[in-house]
Amino acid sequence: MVVIDPGHNGQNWAHPDEINRLVHIGTGTKACNTTGTAAADGYPEAQLNWVVAQLARDELIARGATVVMTREDNDGWGPCITERAATGNEANADAVISIHADGARSDGRGFHVIYPATIAGLTDDIAGPSLRLATELRAAMLVTGMPISDYTGADGFSERGDLGGLNRSDVPAVFLEMGNMKNAADIALLTDSEFQQRVAVGIADAVERFLTG
């Protein structure tokens, strides 16, 4: 059982009151959700995440996995980050992959994988396996053509203790930041259907190696 979490949602921008509502992420509070970033031409991250998430879902199903998505389309708002985490917890998922793309300075390139910091009583039970999942996902992303991030993290990894989707997860969970939507070379790749399929294959490869390794 794998949970694929396409970050944000296509109509979050139209529901500021709902998505700005504070939710508890274990270490404090945070907005229920955010609009996500966008390319220079306005192409929204929520749409990109949704496209890649569907490809990843299909690839995993083709390999025999059971897949649960945290949202069923790109036409609504939410769910809150806490509800997304609850989806993985209630499914007792073997792995949760949240799919995102970044909106960094335009000269920054590349992907990074985010794994949960070890927070006592919160993520100390999932930090180890999540890092192993992150390691598999980073390795799988190396063959997609997207370089490792040169603007954030360290060698393609970033440890975070401030993300509700990770803090509230009771099962192994990572975020994939596929690339920088503000960078011309990255966005050309990110919107290329063959690259998107390579990411989907990479996600499925990573999950498979994580579960069988």
Which residue's CB is nearer to Zn ion, number 100 or number 168?
A: 100
Q: CA–CA separation, 163 vs 25, rounded Å?
A: 7
Q: Is 31 helix (H, G, I), strand (E, B) or coil?
A: strand
Instruction: Report the residue number, 94 or 110, with the smaller CB distance to Zn ion.
Output: 110
177 included as an active-site residue = yes
Residue of minimal CB distance from Zn ion?
100
Q: How far is the CB of 102 from Zn ion (least distance, A)?
A: 7
In the complex with Zn ion, which residue's Cβ is closer, 7 or 165?
Answer: 7
Minimum CB separation from Zn ion for residue 213, in Å? 28
Given the complex with Zn ion, which of 12 and 123 has the nearer CB atom?
A: 12
- The catalytically annotated residue of 59, 136, 177, 208 is 177
DSSP secondary structure of 1-14: -EEEEE-S-TTGGG
Contact residues toward Zn ion (CB under 5 A) are 7, 36, 100
Residue 119, token pair as written in the block: 């927070």
Query: CB of 92: closest distance to Zn ion in angstroms?
Result: 25
- Cα–Cα distance measured from residue 139 to residue 161, given in angstroms and rounded to the nearest whole number: 23
Q: In whole angstroms, what is the distance from residue 96 CA to residue 69 CA? A: 10
DSSP E strands, the chain: 2-6, 22-24, 29-31, 67-69, 95-102, 112-116, 157-160, 173-180
Least distance CB 62 / Zn ion (angstroms) = 26
- Enumerate the active-site residues: 177
